Structure formats: structure tokens, C-alpha cells
Amino acid sequence: MLQVMKRIQVIGPKEDLGRAVDLLYRAGTVHLESAPGQVKKTEIWLGNVRQDEADEVSIVLSTISAIFSTLPVIADDAGRQEQIRDSLEERTHTGLVARAKEIIRTLETTTRELAGKKGELALSVATLNRYQKVLDIIHPLESELPVLEGFEVTILLIQEEHRDVLDLIRQELVTITNDRCEMTATTVDAETLAAIMVFPKRHSEEVHAFIYSVNVNEVRLPKEYAGRPFYEMYALLEESRIKAQEEIAKIDRELLTLSNTWYQELVVLRKQLENIHCELGAYRNFGVSEYTFVIMGWIPKKFLKKTRQALLEAFGDRVVVCELPTTEKDMEDAPIFYDNPFWVKPFEFIMQLVSPPRYREVDPSPILAIFFPLFFGIMVGDIGYGLIILAFALVIRYRFAAIAFAKNLADILLISSIPTIIFGYLFGEFFGDLGEMMGWLHPVHFLGITWNRVDAMIPMLIFAISIGVIHVFLGLFIGIRNAIITKKRKHLYEKCGMLMMIVGLIVLVCMLAGFLPEAAIYPAVALMVIALPLILLGAGVFGTIEVMSTVGNILSYARLMAIGMASVILAMVANRLGGAFEIAIIGVIVAILLHTLNVVLAMFSPSIHSVRLHLVEFFSKFYEGGGTAYQPFARAVTEGEQKGTGPDPGVQEPS
């Protein structure tokens, strides 16, 4: 459920600001507001503080990131990092920044120079590889080159899609050289052509000027390659490439040595400096006068006493926590803090699909935690499938416990598998009708009905619609409650009118179906007559359209029956088809494949439709959203601090 929030003001001597902020940061309980923006200038003038320190830490972090980009990544050594963390524990913010700068002075120039040299060598290797391709292109001309004395060989690289430009180049080359030239084209790869041109050297300047003017990529070998036979050029290329690669390997070894020496400490320093930067970045929310500091924010009521006690133990009566009076407008803007039981917490994950509720709204998470597994169980309703989903959820939860998304998903499936097994017993289903065929179990007989889903389609439909009525009515009742709390009369009229109109329609339908006596028409009509003006008063003409929409919402719950029916029929098809093969092993394989498909569908389809029934049919009756999530001024959440458990305000006095 949503916790009661209190608005507080922390006031103390200006010289204690740093220590007080450290304590609150470690406590991690206060959702900050901007004190300079909240306190009127006529009451006291408050200025902002310490942005210069935040900028300094930001520069140090950027430099460390640049160093990390040059150092080889090595595995984190948890033990070594813990030792480093302990050795840095006693250092102040200034001390940590000073240590980071000391390491930066040691590493920055060296790593930058090594990285720059490595980049130059890598570019050199790439260029040598390019020359290799050039030699491969002109190698077929080797036999002709001796007779081409006084001529120049040039290679152009052209994209395949621009092949037509070759004709233009050939024509211009003929014009420049008076037809004393040769030009041929060959394919380098699927996207590139190489045009080889041979022309008198006296036209070299004019030809190259033309090539430059048409923006064609020209490849020219270095001068040291000129006049050498091809085998020498290949040998020279390979020698240069090996030398460059050896230099790169040497630089890599030097960088690895630096990484082995400094990597673990840099990882620890970066994390601690990120925490400091986050803390200093929040200083814009704090206000200081000539002698006093002021911190303002919201805190869950359950944490107020311990936070106040922690400040009292650290500062005595020098720093005080004042609980501020709040207006209706203040409470509308109060941050939202979930604190639900363990079985509800996984469903807070689904609540992330919508904006947070407003402070005075009802937290839908507990309702979601009840109805989502119920809907899932009704739609799947099979003991065998429930056991497989349970096992799958346990495996995912164990293997991916560190991934919040996977853990929440696994917990939702784990909880939902329980009603799946229960409804599977009620429906007499174990992998479809396999359990009934084997004589292991049978559908339960209740209220004069045997709850075999295939035979009891009408009762199942009525059951699904009845759940829809209960669910939608619950949404309308919550909507009425919210309207009363927030004093929104039009919403109150609309929800009350909607509730009475739907009740009247249900009574009328039950009478026409013969479930109620004919006299029931009078209270039904009376309810609808009273409801109509309330709906018009609350929502206008469009409110009458909303009535039909609500009826459609209720009928949407028929999907609980329809999806469940599709699942059990597919399971029965798997059993029948598996038994139709004369070779038993083939039949077993076919049945297993079809049941596997059905289980996969059973995990996805019911989940999606359960979410839809809540977000569309249910939430639309009361949920507004648009609230502000509770974001305490605190260190990043660790593996032991899960959302909603709340931080521990019982911190030690900062050093």
C-alpha cells in the first residue's frame, strides 16, 4: 500500500551542512525539494551551494572514463576491491578527489600517448593492407610493366553503383593524353571497382588534377615502392606489417601492466566518485543563508522517527527536524512510496506500465496481486501445466536472481501457478483430459454443475462474467472513494450514477432470464432513472456512452472462459493425436511437442490478457495516475535493498 508521507524541514548551522548532508545521504530516506524555491525571500534569503565541487568531480570522472577507454578490461577482483574500499573509507570527499587526481597524474599522459601511438600503428596496418589489395590488383600487369618506361600506372577505386563514370574518365583521359593511354576495370568486391590507368608521365599533373576534380578515390603507392619488383614490394609490406603488429603487441602489454596495477582501484574510485557526484548534484536543492542551512523534502512517516534520532545523535540540538503543515495542494504533489507485503511486490513491476498513482489514490498493487493470479489460474486451469510453470519460475528465479526483470517475472509466474493448480483440480485437468483418462482425477461437482470446462461452457461463461461484474464494481467503489477523498463532486456523481445504472441493467437482465421475479423490474427501472441525471451531471452526454463502454468492459471478462477453453481443447488435441500413432514413441513425441507449445502459450497469453483486464477494464473506473515516485536522496540501491523495503535510517555518524 502507499505509505503516509510527511513534509519536513531540516535546519542547522551553516558549518554543519556537509556532515548533515552526508548523514541524510547515507540514511536514504528523504525525497528532496528545492529549499531556495520553497522558502519565500521575504522570510529568509537562501542561496545555492557547492556547484563548483560537483563540476570538479564531474571533470575527474570524465578523465577516469577516458583512462578506462584505453586500459584493457580485466575481471573485477571483489576481494581486492573490498580492501581498497576499506582503505578509502576514512577519506573525505576532498581526499577521494585528491587520490583520484594523483592516479590520473600517473596514468593520463602515459595511457594517452600509448593509445595514440597504438592508433597510429593500427592505421598504418590498415594502410598496408590497403596497399596489399592495390598490389593484388596491378600484379597481373607485372609482365607489361618493364616495357612501360616513361609511363605511370594509377589505380582508381569506384563504387559499383557509379560504374557509368568510367566512360567519362576514359574519354577525358584520351583527350588529355592524345589517345596515348590504356584503361581497364576489374572488380575488387561486390561494391567496388578498380580502374587501372596507364599514361605518359608528362601528363601526370594534368591527369591527377582531373581525377581530383571529379572526386574519385585514387590509390597511389608510396615512393619507396616505385621501381621495385613485385616480390620485393610484397616482402616490404609484410615486414612493415609485422613490425607494426609487434609494436602494437608491446603497447598492449604495457597497457595490461598498468591495468593490472590500477584497474581495481579505479573501479572503486569511480563508484565512490559517482556517489559523491550524485550527492553534490543534489546541493542545488539545499539553501544557505549567512549562518544557517535549510533542507526540505518528504519522508515516509515510518522513517521519520529513526531519521530524527540519527540527526539528534550526530548533532544534538544543533540540527533540528521540523514537520511542516501541509495543504490539500501540497498533498497532491506528495511523492508516492510503495511498501507492500512480499507477495505483492512482484506486481509493482506491472504498475510500471502506468504512471504512479497520486498520493490520495488507492494503491492498486494489492488488488492486482489478488486478481492477476486468479485470472491466470482460471484461464490455464491445469495441474500439469501449473507444475511446469512453477518449476520454470523457480529455475528462472534461481538462475537470474540478479536481473530485476527476470526475478519479478519469475515471482509473478510462481504465485500464479498456485491458483492454476487449484483450478486444475476443480476442472479435473492434468495435461488436458489425460488425468481423467487415466482415472487419476475428475472434475469437481459443485452447485449442481460438473466443472468440466468443455461440457460446462455456459456455466463457465456466467462465472467469467460474474467475476467481471465484481472486478468492475470494485473499481467503481474505489472511484467513489477517491472522489470523496479528493472532493471531486462530478466524479462522485458519475461513479455513483454508473454503479446504479449497471446494477439496474443487471437486475433487468436477470429478470428477463428468469432468475428474478417480474416485480424486480420496478427497482431496476428506479435505479436507472435515478442514475441517468447523476451521470449527466457528472460526465455530461458522454457519460451515457461510458455506460455502454462499462457494459462492454464487463463482457470482456468472457475471455477468461474463451482463452481457457482454447487451452484445454489444444491439450485434448495433443492427447488424441499422440494416441493416434501406432508407434508409441512417435505419439509421445508429438504429444510432448503440442503440450510444450500449449504451456508456452499458457504463460504468455493469460498474462497479457490479465494485464489488459486490469489496465483497461479495471483501472479506467478509478485510476488517474500522474503522481511523483518517491526518489530518496541516497546511494544507488544495492542487491540487498529492493524497491519498497525502504532504506535503513539507523546510520553511523559520518566521518
Kindly report, residue by residue over 453-509, the tens digit of the pLDDT.
888 899 999 999 999 999 999 999 999 998 998 888 998 999 999 999 999 999 998
Strand 151-159 versus strand 217-219 pairing type = antiparallel
Residue range 582-602: mean pLDDT, rounded:
89
Residue 592 in grid coordinates: 510432448
Per-residue pLDDT band for 148 (boundaries 50, 70, 90) equals: low
Phi, psi of 72 (to 5 degrees): -65, 140
Judged by DSSP in three states, 295 sits in strand
Residue range 274-278: mean pLDDT, rounded:
80
- What pLDDT score does 615 carry? 92
Judged by DSSP in three states, 163 sits in coil
Give me the residue label for grid cell 619488383. 229
* CA-based radius of gyration for the chain: 38
Spell out the domains of the chain, with CATH numbers in brackets: 1-34+295-337 (3.30.70), 134-229 (3.30.70.2750), 345-623 (no CATH)
pTM above 0.85, yes or no: no
- What pLDDT score does 76 carry? 86
Residue 543 in grid coordinates: 457519460
Kindly report, residue by residue over 51-89, the tens digit of the pLDDT.
667 778 888 888 988 888 888 888 888 888 888 888 887
Kindly report, residue by residue over 284-333, the tens digit of the pLDDT.
788 888 888 889 999 999 999 999 999 999 998 899 999 988 888 888 88
Kindly report, residue by residue over 106-129, the tens digit of the pLDDT.
888 888 899 889 888 888 888 777
Range from 159-168, 339-348, 462-471, 579-588 that averages highest in pLDDT: 462-471
- What pLDDT score does 142 carry? 52
Pick from 40-44, 367-371, 546-550, 566-570: least confident: 40-44
- What pLDDT score does 638 carry? 42
- What pLDDT score does 18 carry? 81
- What pLDDT score does 425 carry? 94
Residue range 367-378: mean pLDDT, rounded:
95
**pLDDT > 70: what percent of the chain?**
90
* Chain CA centroid to CA 501, Å: 42
Per-residue pLDDT band for 280 (boundaries 50, 70, 90) equals: confident
Contact 33, 10 (CB under 8 A): no
Q: 614 pLDDT exceeds 50?
A: yes
In 14-62 the beta strands, taken as DSSP E runs, fall at: 31-33
Q: What distance in Å separates the CA atoms of residue 257 and residue 162, rounded to the nearest whole number? A: 49
Kindly report, residue by residue over 533-549, the tens digit of the pLDDT.
999 888 888 888 888 88
Contact 375, 613 (CB under 8 A): yes
Residue 233 burial (CB count, 10 A): 22
H or E, element range at 445: strand 445-446
